[in-house]
Amino acid sequence: MGLFDRMQNNARSEQEKKDNTPKSVTVTFEQLPENLSDMQKLPEASLSTPFMTAALAVCAYCCYAVDKEAGKEMLNFLKGPKPLSNYDIQFINDRLSGKAYLPFSYFEGAEPSNGYRPNEPYKITFFEDAYTYQNEGYAKLNVRSGGADSPRQIVLRKKGDKWYLWEQYILVGIRVPVSEDDWA
């Protein structure tokens, strides 16, 4: 291999390193979808990137907190060939019981002091880390909650050219809204 070829290979390697640096993506919604039909009209419903699917998953959990049946339909759409199991439904019901604010906490501006009311338009940012694409065909994205000190994760799985919701770790404890905190 000649000097010029080595220089080209080095340049390609440097570009690949730059392309693999962790990134963050912010998804903006003018309004949150209230049912599956609303969701399917959004460009994110193409599920062509893990960021789009993750953002719609948070929207679906917000909907579920208000209307379980509509939220369930949205989540089943996002789960693709693996719909919610009875265990999944019970888990979601348990986690959102008395905590309808929880999924809203992932949107910009939502924090305990304002009852987790997000800013409008609704913006949510997901970010990669060194483990995001650790397993082929899967993506583990991170998202911050206004009520937690550490980021939470959503795992997506690729099938064909679409990314589907595989697992979520966002329905976990966060600080209660100040209005509900006896110690605030």
Those residues whose C-beta lies under 8 Å from the C-beta of residue 10, and which sit 6 or more positions away, are none
Tally of CA atoms within 13 A in the half-sphere of 180 that contains its CB: 13
Cα four-point dihedral sign 151, 154, 160, 162: negative
Residue 81 DSSP symbol: T
Residue 115 DSSP symbol: T
Total-model pTM: 0.87
SS3 29: strand
**Residue 102: what residue type?**
L
∠ CA 26-30-32, rounded to 5°: 90
pLDDT tens, the chain, 184 aa long: 566 556 555 555 455 555 566 699 999 999 999 999 999 999 999 999 999 999 999 999 999 999 999 999 999 999 999 999 999 999 999 999 999 999 999 999 999 999 999 999 999 999 999 999 999 999 999 999 999 999 999 999 999 999 999 999 999 999 999 998 888 7
Q: Which of 34, 27, 173 is nearest to 112 (CA)?
A: 173
The confidence score (pLDDT) of residue 19 equals 57
C-alpha to C-alpha distances, 182 to 66, 91, 100, 117, nearest whole angstrom: 25, 27, 19, 20
For 140, the token pair is 């583990």
SS3 180: helix
Q: Which of 84, 86, 93, 169 is nearest to 126 (CA)?
A: 169
